[in-house]
Structure 1
Protein backbone atom coordinates (compact mmCIF):
# COMPACT_ATOMS: atom_id res chain seq x y z
CA UNK A 1 0.00 0.00 0.00
CA UNK A 2 2.84 2.36 0.94
CA UNK A 3 4.59 1.51 -2.35
CA UNK A 4 1.43 2.40 -4.28
CA UNK A 5 1.21 5.71 -2.40
CA UNK A 6 4.84 6.54 -3.30
CA UNK A 7 4.27 5.69 -6.96
CA UNK A 8 1.22 7.94 -6.96
CA UNK A 9 3.26 10.81 -5.61
CA UNK A 10 5.98 10.23 -8.20
CA UNK A 11 3.43 10.27 -11.03
CA UNK A 12 1.87 13.46 -9.74
CA UNK A 13 5.34 15.02 -9.40
CA UNK A 14 6.21 14.00 -12.97
CA UNK A 15 2.96 15.49 -14.25
CA UNK A 16 3.52 18.73 -12.34
CA UNK A 17 7.10 18.90 -13.65
CA UNK A 18 5.94 18.40 -17.21
CA UNK A 19 3.23 21.04 -16.85
CA UNK A 20 5.75 23.43 -15.32
CA UNK A 21 8.17 22.91 -18.21
CA UNK A 22 5.36 23.47 -20.75
CA UNK A 23 4.20 26.58 -18.90
CA UNK A 24 7.75 27.89 -18.79
CA UNK A 25 8.15 27.23 -22.51
CA UNK A 26 4.88 29.02 -23.33
CA UNK A 27 5.91 31.95 -21.13
CA UNK A 28 9.30 32.23 -22.82
CA UNK A 29 7.64 32.02 -26.23
CA UNK A 30 4.95 34.63 -25.47
CA UNK A 31 7.17 37.16 -23.76
CA UNK A 32 10.27 36.96 -25.95
CA UNK A 33 11.07 37.54 -29.65
CA UNK A 34 10.80 33.79 -30.33
CA UNK A 35 7.13 34.29 -31.17
CA UNK A 36 8.08 36.41 -34.17
CA UNK A 37 9.50 35.28 -37.52
CA UNK A 38 13.28 35.42 -37.42
CA UNK A 39 15.18 34.28 -40.52
CA UNK A 40 13.50 33.92 -43.93
CA UNK A 41 15.50 31.55 -46.13
CA UNK A 42 15.00 31.51 -49.92
CA UNK A 43 16.30 28.61 -52.03
CA UNK A 44 16.06 27.62 -55.70
CA UNK A 45 15.96 31.17 -57.03
CA UNK A 46 18.24 32.29 -59.84
CA UNK A 47 16.50 34.98 -61.90
CA UNK A 48 14.30 36.26 -59.09
CA UNK A 49 16.18 37.92 -56.25
CA UNK A 50 15.80 36.76 -52.66
CA UNK A 51 14.44 40.19 -51.77
CA UNK A 52 11.80 39.98 -54.49
CA UNK A 53 10.63 36.57 -53.27
CA UNK A 54 10.31 37.85 -49.71
CA UNK A 55 8.42 40.95 -50.87
CA UNK A 56 5.93 38.80 -52.79
CA UNK A 57 5.50 36.51 -49.76
CA UNK A 58 4.46 39.42 -47.56
CA UNK A 59 6.59 38.01 -44.73
CA UNK A 60 8.42 40.21 -42.25
CA UNK A 61 9.95 40.00 -38.79
CA UNK A 62 6.92 41.56 -37.11
CA UNK A 63 4.68 38.58 -37.83
CA UNK A 64 3.82 35.85 -35.35
CA UNK A 65 5.57 32.63 -36.37
CA UNK A 66 2.71 30.31 -35.45
CA UNK A 67 0.18 32.48 -37.31
CA UNK A 68 1.92 32.11 -40.69
CA UNK A 69 -0.38 30.46 -43.25
CA UNK A 70 1.67 28.17 -45.51
CA UNK A 71 -0.83 28.03 -48.37
CA UNK A 72 -1.31 31.79 -48.38
CA UNK A 73 2.44 32.41 -48.60
CA UNK A 74 2.83 29.88 -51.42
CA UNK A 75 -0.05 31.50 -53.32
CA UNK A 76 1.46 34.98 -52.93
CA UNK A 77 4.93 33.94 -54.09
CA UNK A 78 3.62 32.14 -57.18
CA UNK A 79 2.01 35.42 -58.24
CA UNK A 80 5.48 36.36 -59.47
CA UNK A 81 5.47 35.64 -63.24
CA UNK A 82 8.89 33.95 -63.20
CA UNK A 83 8.06 31.53 -60.37
CA UNK A 84 6.37 28.27 -61.34
CA UNK A 85 5.88 26.66 -57.93
CA UNK A 86 6.68 27.24 -54.24
CA UNK A 87 7.04 25.18 -51.09
CA UNK A 88 7.10 26.98 -47.74
CA UNK A 89 8.11 25.22 -44.54
CA UNK A 90 8.42 26.34 -40.93
CA UNK A 91 11.69 25.58 -39.19
CA UNK A 92 11.51 25.80 -35.42
CA UNK A 93 11.97 27.73 -33.34
CA UNK A 94 10.99 30.59 -35.67
CA UNK A 95 12.57 30.39 -39.14
CA UNK A 96 10.81 30.20 -42.51
CA UNK A 97 12.17 28.47 -45.61
CA UNK A 98 10.81 29.23 -49.08
CA UNK A 99 11.86 26.90 -51.92
CA UNK A 100 10.99 28.13 -55.41
CA UNK A 101 11.01 26.57 -58.86
CA UNK A 102 11.35 29.13 -61.64
CA UNK A 103 9.99 28.86 -65.15
CA UNK A 104 12.51 27.67 -67.71
CA UNK A 105 14.41 30.31 -69.69
CA UNK A 106 14.27 29.56 -73.41
CA UNK A 107 16.28 32.49 -74.74
CA UNK A 108 16.70 36.20 -75.15
CA UNK A 109 14.10 37.78 -77.42
CA UNK A 110 15.22 40.71 -79.60
CA UNK A 111 12.57 43.31 -80.29
CA UNK A 112 13.35 46.70 -81.88
CA UNK A 113 16.89 46.73 -80.50
CA UNK A 114 15.65 45.84 -77.01
CA UNK A 115 16.24 42.48 -75.39
CA UNK A 116 13.86 40.50 -73.22
CA UNK A 117 14.50 37.36 -71.19
CA UNK A 118 11.89 34.92 -72.50
CA UNK A 119 10.48 32.31 -70.13
CA UNK A 120 8.61 29.09 -70.89
CA UNK A 121 5.30 30.57 -69.72
CA UNK A 122 5.62 33.39 -72.27
CA UNK A 123 6.63 36.04 -69.76
CA UNK A 124 9.22 38.56 -70.98
CA UNK A 125 11.52 40.58 -68.76
CA UNK A 126 13.61 43.35 -70.30
CA UNK A 127 17.33 43.06 -69.65
CA UNK A 128 20.20 45.49 -69.99
CA UNK A 129 22.97 45.14 -70.92
CA UNK A 130 22.65 42.32 -73.44
CA UNK A 131 25.41 40.36 -71.68
CA UNK A 132 23.05 39.76 -68.74
CA UNK A 133 20.61 37.90 -71.01
CA UNK A 134 20.59 34.12 -70.63
CA UNK A 135 20.25 31.66 -73.52
CA UNK A 136 20.35 32.17 -77.27
CA UNK A 137 19.46 35.42 -79.00
CA UNK A 138 16.08 34.99 -80.73
CA UNK A 139 15.60 37.41 -83.63
CA UNK A 140 12.63 38.09 -85.88
CA UNK A 141 10.24 35.62 -84.28
CA UNK A 142 8.32 38.21 -82.30
CA UNK A 143 8.06 40.61 -85.25
CA UNK A 144 6.71 38.14 -87.82
CA UNK A 145 4.79 35.52 -85.86
CA UNK A 146 1.22 36.23 -84.81
CA UNK A 147 0.27 35.57 -81.19
CA UNK A 148 -0.80 31.99 -81.86
CA UNK A 149 2.41 31.11 -83.72
CA UNK A 150 4.55 32.83 -81.09
CA UNK A 151 2.79 30.85 -78.36
CA UNK A 152 3.39 27.62 -80.30
CA UNK A 153 7.05 28.55 -80.76
CA UNK A 154 7.49 29.20 -77.02
CA UNK A 155 5.65 26.00 -76.02
CA UNK A 156 7.71 23.83 -78.36
CA UNK A 157 11.03 25.55 -77.66
CA UNK A 158 10.54 25.08 -73.93
CA UNK A 159 10.49 21.31 -74.48
CA UNK A 160 14.06 21.27 -75.79
CA UNK A 161 16.45 19.59 -73.37
CA UNK A 162 18.86 21.76 -71.38
CA UNK A 163 21.94 20.25 -73.04
CA UNK A 164 20.79 21.20 -76.53
CA UNK A 165 19.30 24.51 -75.44
CA UNK A 166 22.62 25.56 -73.89
CA UNK A 167 24.37 24.92 -77.22
CA UNK A 168 22.18 27.33 -79.21
CA UNK A 169 23.87 30.72 -79.62
CA UNK A 170 21.39 32.41 -81.95
CA UNK A 171 17.93 31.66 -83.35
CA UNK A 172 16.61 33.56 -86.39
CA UNK A 173 13.25 33.60 -88.12
CA UNK A 174 14.22 32.82 -91.73
CA UNK A 175 11.21 32.18 -94.02
CA UNK A 176 11.59 31.17 -97.65
CA UNK A 177 9.19 30.65 -100.55
CA UNK A 178 8.39 27.13 -99.38
CA UNK A 179 7.85 27.68 -95.65
CA UNK A 180 6.86 30.85 -93.84
CA UNK A 181 7.58 29.29 -90.45
CA UNK A 182 11.19 28.41 -91.18
CA UNK A 183 13.70 28.96 -88.36
CA UNK A 184 17.50 28.70 -88.21
CA UNK A 185 19.55 28.13 -85.07
CA UNK A 186 23.32 28.59 -84.94
CA UNK A 187 25.08 26.32 -82.50
CA UNK A 188 28.11 27.02 -80.33
CA UNK A 189 29.93 24.05 -81.90
CA UNK A 190 29.77 25.66 -85.36
CA UNK A 191 26.79 23.79 -86.81
CA UNK A 192 23.54 25.22 -88.16
CA UNK A 193 20.06 23.72 -87.74
CA UNK A 194 17.12 24.45 -90.03
CA UNK A 195 13.62 23.59 -88.83
CA UNK A 196 10.05 24.82 -88.45
CA UNK A 197 7.71 25.30 -85.50
CA UNK A 198 6.28 21.85 -86.19
CA UNK A 199 9.71 20.20 -86.10
CA UNK A 200 11.30 21.99 -83.12
CA UNK A 201 11.07 18.74 -81.17
CA UNK A 202 13.69 17.22 -83.48
CA UNK A 203 16.33 19.41 -81.85
CA UNK A 204 16.30 16.92 -78.98
CA UNK A 205 17.98 14.44 -81.36
CA UNK A 206 20.78 16.88 -82.13
CA UNK A 207 23.35 15.50 -79.68
CA UNK A 208 22.91 11.91 -80.89
CA UNK A 209 23.13 13.02 -84.52
CA UNK A 210 26.35 14.96 -83.86
CA UNK A 211 27.87 11.84 -82.29
CA UNK A 212 26.80 9.78 -85.30
CA UNK A 213 28.29 12.33 -87.72
CA UNK A 214 31.54 12.23 -85.77
CA UNK A 215 31.73 8.46 -86.25
CA UNK A 216 30.67 8.61 -89.90
CA UNK A 217 33.28 11.20 -90.87
CA UNK A 218 35.93 9.90 -88.48
CA UNK A 219 36.19 13.21 -86.66
CA UNK A 220 34.44 16.49 -86.10
CA UNK A 221 32.79 17.94 -89.21
CA UNK A 222 30.62 21.05 -89.20
CA UNK A 223 27.65 21.61 -91.44
CA UNK A 224 23.88 22.01 -91.73
CA UNK A 225 21.33 19.83 -89.97
CA UNK A 226 18.03 20.06 -91.85
CA UNK A 227 15.01 19.10 -89.74
CA UNK A 228 12.34 20.63 -91.97
CA UNK A 229 11.33 17.31 -93.51
CA UNK A 230 13.04 14.27 -92.07
CA UNK A 231 16.50 14.81 -90.60
CA UNK A 232 19.73 14.90 -92.55
CA UNK A 233 23.18 16.48 -92.43
CA UNK A 234 25.20 18.27 -95.11
CA UNK A 235 28.83 19.31 -94.45
CA UNK A 236 29.59 22.98 -95.11
CA UNK A 237 32.14 22.15 -97.77
CA UNK A 238 29.46 20.45 -99.89
CA UNK A 239 26.72 23.05 -99.39
CA UNK A 240 26.03 24.93 -102.61
Structure 2
Protein backbone atom coordinates (compact mmCIF):
# COMPACT_ATOMS: atom_id res chain seq x y z
CA UNK A 1 0.00 0.00 0.00
CA UNK A 2 1.52 3.35 -1.15
CA UNK A 3 2.00 6.22 1.23
CA UNK A 4 0.67 9.69 0.32
CA UNK A 5 3.20 12.48 0.56
CA UNK A 6 2.10 14.94 3.20
CA UNK A 7 3.21 18.60 2.74
CA UNK A 8 3.08 20.63 5.90
CA UNK A 9 1.55 24.14 5.94
CA UNK A 10 4.96 25.51 6.93
CA UNK A 11 6.40 24.24 3.63
CA UNK A 12 3.58 25.73 1.57
CA UNK A 13 3.65 29.28 3.02
CA UNK A 14 6.95 30.35 1.35
CA UNK A 15 5.67 29.13 -2.03
CA UNK A 16 2.40 31.05 -1.60
CA UNK A 17 4.28 34.16 -0.59
CA UNK A 18 6.53 33.82 -3.65
CA UNK A 19 3.54 33.36 -5.99
CA UNK A 20 1.80 36.40 -4.52
CA UNK A 21 4.96 38.44 -4.88
CA UNK A 22 5.31 37.49 -8.57
CA UNK A 23 1.65 38.37 -9.16
CA UNK A 24 2.08 41.72 -7.41
CA UNK A 25 5.22 42.42 -9.47
CA UNK A 26 3.39 41.65 -12.71
CA UNK A 27 0.54 43.96 -11.69
CA UNK A 28 3.03 46.70 -10.82
CA UNK A 29 4.78 46.34 -14.18
CA UNK A 30 1.39 46.50 -15.94
CA UNK A 31 0.34 49.68 -14.15
CA UNK A 32 3.73 51.28 -14.65
CA UNK A 33 3.56 50.46 -18.38
CA UNK A 34 0.17 52.15 -18.66
CA UNK A 35 1.45 55.12 -16.67
CA UNK A 36 4.52 55.62 -18.86
CA UNK A 37 2.43 55.06 -22.02
CA UNK A 38 0.06 57.85 -20.98
CA UNK A 39 2.99 60.09 -20.08
CA UNK A 40 4.49 59.39 -23.53
CA UNK A 41 1.24 60.37 -25.25
CA UNK A 42 1.05 63.61 -23.27
CA UNK A 43 4.69 64.43 -24.06
CA UNK A 44 4.08 63.61 -27.75
CA UNK A 45 0.99 65.83 -27.95
CA UNK A 46 2.78 68.73 -26.28
CA UNK A 47 6.02 68.42 -28.24
CA UNK A 48 7.03 69.34 -31.82
CA UNK A 49 6.87 65.62 -32.62
CA UNK A 50 3.10 65.98 -33.19
CA UNK A 51 3.41 69.10 -35.36
CA UNK A 52 2.72 68.90 -39.09
CA UNK A 53 5.90 68.14 -41.00
CA UNK A 54 4.62 67.74 -44.58
CA UNK A 55 1.69 69.29 -46.48
CA UNK A 56 1.01 67.44 -49.74
CA UNK A 57 -1.10 69.41 -52.22
CA UNK A 58 -2.52 67.91 -55.40
CA UNK A 59 -4.83 69.21 -58.13
CA UNK A 60 -3.71 72.85 -58.08
CA UNK A 61 -2.62 74.41 -61.36
CA UNK A 62 -3.35 78.11 -61.03
CA UNK A 63 -2.94 78.46 -57.27
CA UNK A 64 0.61 77.87 -56.04
CA UNK A 65 1.37 75.53 -53.14
CA UNK A 66 2.17 78.53 -50.95
CA UNK A 67 -1.16 80.19 -51.80
CA UNK A 68 -3.04 77.01 -50.87
CA UNK A 69 -1.09 76.74 -47.60
CA UNK A 70 -1.90 80.37 -46.78
CA UNK A 71 -5.60 79.75 -47.44
CA UNK A 72 -5.55 76.62 -45.27
CA UNK A 73 -3.84 78.32 -42.34
CA UNK A 74 -1.61 75.26 -41.88
CA UNK A 75 2.02 75.65 -40.83
CA UNK A 76 4.75 73.36 -39.54
CA UNK A 77 3.77 74.52 -36.05
CA UNK A 78 0.20 73.23 -36.37
CA UNK A 79 -0.54 70.24 -34.14
CA UNK A 80 -1.74 67.44 -36.41
CA UNK A 81 -4.41 66.39 -33.88
CA UNK A 82 -5.93 69.87 -33.81
CA UNK A 83 -6.68 69.88 -37.55
CA UNK A 84 -10.30 70.31 -38.60
CA UNK A 85 -10.45 69.08 -42.20
CA UNK A 86 -13.90 70.48 -42.90
CA UNK A 87 -13.01 73.96 -41.68
CA UNK A 88 -9.78 73.97 -43.72
CA UNK A 89 -11.66 72.81 -46.83
CA UNK A 90 -14.17 75.63 -46.44
CA UNK A 91 -11.37 78.19 -46.04
CA UNK A 92 -9.61 77.06 -49.22
CA UNK A 93 -12.90 76.84 -51.17
CA UNK A 94 -13.57 80.54 -50.53
CA UNK A 95 -11.19 81.26 -53.38
CA UNK A 96 -13.25 81.52 -56.63
CA UNK A 97 -10.67 79.42 -58.47
CA UNK A 98 -11.36 76.41 -56.24
CA UNK A 99 -14.17 74.00 -57.09
CA UNK A 100 -13.77 71.38 -54.34
CA UNK A 101 -11.31 70.40 -51.59
CA UNK A 102 -10.69 67.30 -49.49
CA UNK A 103 -8.34 67.48 -46.49
CA UNK A 104 -7.11 64.30 -44.78
CA UNK A 105 -4.62 63.53 -42.03
CA UNK A 106 -1.90 60.96 -42.75
CA UNK A 107 -0.07 59.90 -39.61
CA UNK A 108 2.35 60.51 -38.21
CA UNK A 109 2.89 64.09 -39.45
CA UNK A 110 1.45 64.61 -42.92
CA UNK A 111 -1.61 66.52 -44.16
CA UNK A 112 -2.94 65.78 -47.63
CA UNK A 113 -4.95 68.38 -49.58
CA UNK A 114 -6.68 67.09 -52.72
CA UNK A 115 -8.34 69.89 -54.63
CA UNK A 116 -10.05 70.57 -57.92
CA UNK A 117 -9.96 73.96 -59.57
CA UNK A 118 -12.67 75.40 -61.78
CA UNK A 119 -12.08 74.42 -65.41
CA UNK A 120 -10.17 76.77 -67.68
CA UNK A 121 -12.42 77.43 -70.68
CA UNK A 122 -10.55 80.15 -72.50
CA UNK A 123 -8.07 83.00 -72.51
CA UNK A 124 -8.33 86.77 -72.70
CA UNK A 125 -5.64 88.86 -74.40
CA UNK A 126 -4.73 92.16 -72.78
CA UNK A 127 -1.58 94.29 -72.68
CA UNK A 128 0.36 91.67 -74.60
CA UNK A 129 -0.47 88.89 -72.13
CA UNK A 130 -2.90 85.96 -72.20
CA UNK A 131 -4.98 85.53 -69.05
CA UNK A 132 -6.83 82.27 -68.31
CA UNK A 133 -10.61 82.47 -67.94
CA UNK A 134 -12.40 79.96 -65.74
CA UNK A 135 -15.84 78.45 -66.23
CA UNK A 136 -17.30 80.79 -63.60
CA UNK A 137 -16.14 83.85 -65.57
CA UNK A 138 -13.14 84.63 -63.35
CA UNK A 139 -10.20 86.11 -65.25
CA UNK A 140 -6.93 85.10 -63.58
CA UNK A 141 -5.06 88.41 -63.70
CA UNK A 142 -2.19 86.95 -61.68
CA UNK A 143 -1.58 84.09 -64.13
CA UNK A 144 -0.83 86.02 -67.31
CA UNK A 145 1.56 84.55 -69.85
CA UNK A 146 3.18 86.02 -72.93
CA UNK A 147 2.48 83.01 -75.15
CA UNK A 148 -0.94 81.55 -75.93
CA UNK A 149 -0.81 77.88 -74.93
CA UNK A 150 -3.55 77.04 -77.43
CA UNK A 151 -5.27 74.59 -75.10
CA UNK A 152 -8.45 76.67 -74.88
CA UNK A 153 -10.11 79.27 -77.15
CA UNK A 154 -9.17 82.93 -77.13
CA UNK A 155 -12.14 85.17 -76.23
CA UNK A 156 -12.01 88.54 -77.97
CA UNK A 157 -14.00 91.80 -77.77
CA UNK A 158 -16.08 90.69 -74.79
CA UNK A 159 -16.33 94.20 -73.36
CA UNK A 160 -19.33 93.53 -71.13
CA UNK A 161 -18.76 91.37 -68.06
CA UNK A 162 -22.20 89.76 -68.10
CA UNK A 163 -21.66 88.61 -71.70
CA UNK A 164 -18.28 87.17 -70.76
CA UNK A 165 -19.83 85.26 -67.85
CA UNK A 166 -22.64 83.97 -70.05
CA UNK A 167 -20.13 82.81 -72.67
CA UNK A 168 -17.85 81.05 -70.19
CA UNK A 169 -20.87 79.34 -68.60
CA UNK A 170 -21.74 77.91 -72.01
CA UNK A 171 -18.14 76.84 -72.66
CA UNK A 172 -18.16 75.07 -69.28
CA UNK A 173 -21.01 72.88 -70.54
CA UNK A 174 -19.30 72.09 -73.81
CA UNK A 175 -17.65 68.66 -74.21
CA UNK A 176 -13.86 68.90 -74.06
CA UNK A 177 -13.60 67.26 -77.49
CA UNK A 178 -15.46 70.20 -79.05
CA UNK A 179 -13.91 72.90 -76.87
CA UNK A 180 -10.41 72.03 -78.07
CA UNK A 181 -11.56 72.53 -81.70
CA UNK A 182 -12.26 76.23 -81.10
CA UNK A 183 -9.42 78.68 -81.76
CA UNK A 184 -11.06 82.10 -81.26
CA UNK A 185 -14.45 83.44 -80.21
CA UNK A 186 -15.47 87.00 -81.08
CA UNK A 187 -18.41 88.81 -79.55
CA UNK A 188 -20.02 90.65 -82.48
CA UNK A 189 -23.30 92.11 -81.17
CA UNK A 190 -25.84 93.69 -83.50
CA UNK A 191 -28.82 95.90 -82.76
CA UNK A 192 -31.15 92.94 -83.05
CA UNK A 193 -28.94 90.35 -81.40
CA UNK A 194 -26.59 91.35 -78.60
CA UNK A 195 -25.62 87.68 -78.12
CA UNK A 196 -24.15 87.19 -81.58
CA UNK A 197 -20.73 85.50 -81.73
CA UNK A 198 -18.35 84.35 -84.45
CA UNK A 199 -16.00 81.41 -83.96
CA UNK A 200 -12.80 80.50 -85.78
CA UNK A 201 -12.12 76.78 -85.60
CA UNK A 202 -8.79 74.97 -85.65
CA UNK A 203 -9.92 72.93 -88.67
CA UNK A 204 -10.41 76.06 -90.81
CA UNK A 205 -14.18 76.50 -90.53
CA UNK A 206 -16.05 79.44 -89.03
CA UNK A 207 -19.15 79.19 -86.89
CA UNK A 208 -21.88 81.81 -86.74
CA UNK A 209 -23.94 81.52 -83.56
CA UNK A 210 -25.25 83.13 -80.41
CA UNK A 211 -24.27 82.92 -76.74
CA UNK A 212 -27.74 81.75 -75.75
CA UNK A 213 -27.87 77.92 -75.74
CA UNK A 214 -24.48 77.85 -77.47
CA UNK A 215 -23.31 74.63 -75.83
CA UNK A 216 -26.41 72.71 -76.90
CA UNK A 217 -26.37 74.02 -80.47
CA UNK A 218 -22.61 73.53 -80.88
CA UNK A 219 -22.93 69.80 -80.24
CA UNK A 220 -24.02 69.35 -83.89
CA UNK A 221 -20.72 70.78 -85.17
CA UNK A 222 -18.79 67.47 -85.51
CA UNK A 223 -21.76 65.86 -87.27
CA UNK A 224 -22.02 68.70 -89.80
CA UNK A 225 -18.28 68.70 -90.51
CA UNK A 226 -18.25 64.92 -91.01
CA UNK A 227 -20.82 65.25 -93.81
CA UNK A 228 -18.91 67.91 -95.78
CA UNK A 229 -16.72 67.09 -98.74
CA UNK A 230 -13.01 66.98 -98.07
CA UNK A 231 -11.43 70.38 -98.64
CA UNK A 232 -14.67 72.30 -98.06
CA UNK A 233 -14.28 75.63 -96.28
CA UNK A 234 -16.96 77.99 -95.12
CA UNK A 235 -19.27 79.09 -92.34
CA UNK A 236 -21.41 76.75 -90.27
CA UNK A 237 -24.52 78.50 -88.99
CA UNK A 238 -26.03 77.18 -85.76
CA UNK A 239 -28.81 79.73 -85.22
CA UNK A 240 -32.26 78.79 -86.51
CA UNK A 241 -31.47 75.28 -87.65
CA UNK A 242 -27.94 74.40 -88.69
CA UNK A 243 -26.47 74.63 -92.16
CA UNK A 244 -23.19 75.07 -94.01
CA UNK A 245 -22.37 78.03 -96.24
CA UNK A 246 -19.30 77.82 -98.48
CA UNK A 247 -17.04 80.86 -98.50
CA UNK A 248 -17.90 81.50 -102.22
CA UNK A 249 -21.54 82.01 -101.22
CA UNK A 250 -20.87 84.10 -98.14
CA UNK A 251 -22.15 87.26 -99.76
CA UNK A 252 -25.47 85.69 -100.74
CA UNK A 253 -26.67 84.89 -97.22
CA UNK A 254 -27.22 88.36 -95.75
CA UNK A 255 -30.96 87.87 -95.50
CA UNK A 256 -30.62 84.61 -93.54
CA UNK A 257 -28.13 86.24 -91.18
CA UNK A 258 -30.49 89.11 -90.50
CA UNK A 259 -33.14 86.56 -89.54
CA UNK A 260 -30.67 84.86 -87.21
CA UNK A 261 -29.85 88.20 -85.56
CA UNK A 262 -33.33 88.25 -84.10
CA UNK A 263 -32.51 85.12 -82.06
TM range (shorter): 0.7 to 0.9
Residue 55 in structure 1 maps to residue 70 in structure 2: yes
Residue 232 in structure 1 maps to residue 243 in structure 2: yes
Q: Is the 8 A contact 1:199 1:227 kept in 2?
A: no
Q: Distance in 2 between matches of 1:27 and 1:120?
A: 48
Alignment partner of 1:53: what SS? helix
TM-aligned CA deviation for residue 60 of structure 1: 0.6
TM-aligned CA deviation for residue 28 of structure 1: 6.3
Equivalent residue in structure 2 for 1:131, among 148, 152, 166 = 148
Q: Distance in 2 between matches of 1:14 and 1:185?
A: 81
Q: Is the 8 A contact 1:88 1:98 kept in 2?
A: yes
Q: Deviations over 1:92-133 (max 9, x none)?
A: 111000111101112112457664321112211221324368
Residue 97 in structure 1 maps to residue 97 in structure 2: no
Question: After alignment, is 101-110 or 89-98 more displaced?
Answer: 101-110
How many residue pairs get aligned? The number is 227
Q: Which residue of 2 aligns with 1:207?
A: 222
Q: Distance in 2 between matches of 1:21 and 1:193?
A: 76
TM-score by length of 2: 0.73
Q: Distance in 1 between matches of 2:37 and 2:242?
A: 71
Alignment partner of 2:218: what SS? helix
Unaligned runs of 5+ in 1: none
Residue 140 in structure 1 maps to residue 157 in structure 2: yes
Q: Distance in 2 between matches of 1:192 and 1:221?
A: 12
Alignment partner of 2:220: what SS? helix
Structure 1 or 2, whichever has the larger Rg, is 2
Q: 1:100 to 1:91 in 2, by over 3 A?
A: same
TM-aligned CA deviation for residue 83 of structure 1: 0.8
Question: After alignment, is 96-105 or 190-199 more displaced?
Answer: 190-199
Q: Deviations over 1:177-221 (max 9, x none)?
A: 65332101111111211110123121233233333x2xx53x464
Equivalent residue in structure 2 for 1:193, among 191, 200, 207 = 207
Q: Is the 8 A contact 2:155 2:184 kept in 1?
A: yes
TM-aligned CA deviation for residue 19 of structure 1: 3.2
Q: Distance in 1 between matches of 2:132 and 2:34?
A: 58
Alignment partner of 1:77: what SS? helix
Q: Distance in 2 between matches of 1:136 and 1:26?
A: 56
Q: Which residue of 2 aligns with 1:41?
A: 56
Unaligned runs of 5+ in 2: 1-15, 252-263
